[in-house]
Amino acid sequence: MTAAASFCDLTLDELAASLAAPAGEDAPEPGRAVRSPSAAHVFGALHRVARWSTDDRGHRAPILGRAAAAAVAARLDLRLPQIVEAEPSSDGATKLLLALADGARVEAVHMPRAVRNPRVTLCISSQVGCAMGCTFCRTAQMGLVRNLDAAEIVGQVFAVVLALGPVDPQRISIVFMGMGEPLHNLDAVLRAVRILCEPAGMGLSPQRITVSTSGLVAGIEALARAEVRPALALSVNATTDEARARIMPVTRRNSLAALRSALLAFPLRSHEKITLEYVLLAGENDGDDDAARLAAFAAGMRHNINVIPWNPFTDGGFARPDDARTMAFVARLRDAGCLVTVRKSRGRDVAGACGQLATDTVRVRRSAPAGPR
């Protein structure tokens, strides 16, 4: 007899195999399984927030017929990461602290686009802490505690949407820009993306899911081959290897030239762009020369440069550029033919903005399975 699997960890085929097997026994090999006619229905009931109800005591559960409920109860674990803190920001974003089954904590941010527009972007975590050591990022100060598995990533999304909406999954966009380097945990991230994009469930479009990397060339190449491929963002942040290595140690093994080659080879869908994020640090990477080199880096690729004035945190060691400097940098890029947006960081007043996420999870040097570097 095997332990009940989290419903967040199963693809539709795996759920079908599980439902086809007698309760409490191992499921047959996925290739040999006959899909239960009710598997898509059960998957939809489990993965669509609109199909969950709340009882008198506030307990949430999917609405299932008696037979399906019994089958699910015998096979699946319906527990989700627990939201232990929710800090609303004055700009409408909410920073959430979620506790995982082993007590580890991760943060997510729920960002409605505008008060009257129910479209929501969820910024979620792929790891507890992070191994990449970017000097401008608060998560880096935790070190890497462990990878999240696919169930914890899907569960994080589901728990946040269950708490704060939206009910309609077509209004959800996801960015892997919370804690962790998603390409350092690529297998779990891609499995989670597959489950989130399953049409019988949430049915998210992979084009509305963005994986943001600090720059792991092998990871970008592996992502390019993914069957259900999310969009790609690269956190550039400096324009020479020397300067980049000072703030992003990942550069020592992944040069800007190698990253540029990987991006140029990345297969894009029609209208798709690669996002080049650039955290602007006053006096560090915001010079006119930097703008010229960044434009040269972007030349020849379909891109959108997202300039992010640095979000301060205690002991951060950098300064946020003033608005005039930011706009001068942006103007240089535009003059060079780049498509540029300036990120209006959400949740700054609750330390939920880009680079500000970190939890008090104790760092334990447990080795996480190494991802591509």
Q: Which residues of the shown chain bind ligand SF4 in the complex (CB under 6 A)? A: 130, 132, 134, 137, 139-140, 179-181, 214
Quote the Cα angle for 353-314-320, to 5°: 60
- The Cα–Cα gap between 340 and 212 comes to 17
Smallest distance from the beta carbon of 371 to ligand SF4, in angstroms? 12
Query: What angle, 0 to 180 degrees and rounded to 10, lies between the N-to-C axes of helices 12-20 and 39-47?
Result: 120
Residues 311-338 as b or e (16 or more Cβ within 10 Å = b)? bbbeebebebbeeebbeebbebbeeeeb
Closer Cβ to ligand SF4, 68 or 174, answer by number: 174
Smallest distance from the beta carbon of 338 to ligand SF4, in angstroms? 22
Strand 76-77, strand 127-129: pairing: unpaired
Q: Which of 137, 197, 338, 354 is catalytic?
A: 354
Smallest distance from the beta carbon of 262 to ligand SF4, in angstroms? 16
Smallest distance from the beta carbon of 358 to ligand SF4, in angstroms? 9
Type of residue numbered 307: V
Closer Cβ to ligand SF4, 253 or 269, answer by number: 253
Smallest distance from the beta carbon of 98 to ligand SF4, in angstroms? 16
- The Cα–Cα gap between 191 and 144 comes to 21
What ranges make up the beta strands (E) of the chain?
5-6, 52-54, 60-62, 76-77, 82-88, 94-99, 105-114, 117-123, 127-129, 144-147, 172-176, 209-213, 231-235, 274-280, 303-309, 340-342
Smallest distance from the beta carbon of 120 to ligand SF4, in angstroms? 21
Closer Cβ to ligand SF4, 17 or 175, answer by number: 175
Closer Cβ to ligand SF4, 71 or 128, answer by number: 128
Report the chain's C-alpha Rg in angstroms: 21
Closer Cβ to ligand SF4, 140 or 217, answer by number: 140
How far apart, in Å, are the Cα atoms of 340 and each of 190, 237, 354?
28, 14, 18
Tell me the DSSP string of 194-237: HHHH-TTTT---GGGEEEEES--HHHHHHHHT-SSPPEEEEE--
Residue 24 falls in which region: left (phi positive, over 0), alpha (psi -120 to 50) or beta: left
Closer Cβ to ligand SF4, 201 or 316, answer by number: 316
Give the three-state DSSP class for 340: strand
Closer Cβ to ligand SF4, 44 or 316, answer by number: 316
User: Sign of the C-alpha dihedral, residues 325, 328, 332, 333?
Assistant: positive
Kindly report the number of other CB atoms within 10 A of residue 360's CB atom: 7
Q: Which of 107, 198, 277, 284 is catalytic?
A: 107
- The Cα–Cα gap between 266 and 282 comes to 31
| Whether residue 107 lies in the annotated active site | yes
Smallest distance from the beta carbon of 305 to ligand SF4, in angstroms? 17
User: Which are the catalytic amino acids?
Assistant: 107, 354
